[in-house]
Structure 1
């Protein structure tokens, strides 16, 4: 029996799960109001990633440049700031 390896061992005390959830909570407003056609695609890709066993931090990382561009265009400095903070600490 093999032990599960924590690939985020270097993120201890950074609270990456909480920070990732916080970014997704902030993004939810955009998902709900459909502020960009990208969101539908992004959410489908998130579902696929979860099916493959990937977590939300990986999903954000995969789409980081696009997310930053869209959030800048939407003038959502709060979400962009949280995303950039997560990028610096965990990506």
Structure 2
């Protein structure tokens, strides 16, 4: 086996690799990002949700006060009806 031949072949491969990378770098392409109108609407909606409160205090204040006073009563029949309704919706 001749080592000189191997070295010459290796030099040929290395020369081709350099020319390919130089061709790619000289192209000068730039990346652009365009967001559709629908995408902008989704971003606005996400920002609105992030800015809103997690709990609507005007709805939960009366229930909180009833629970603290010990007067909040959940009817067993109403609870069972709601539970069965949810079960039927999930089917």
With CA pairs under 8 Å and 6+ residues apart, which has the higher RCO, 1 or 2?
A: 1
State if a TM-score over 0.5 links the two structures: no
State the TM-score bracket (shorter-chain normalisation). Answer: under 0.3
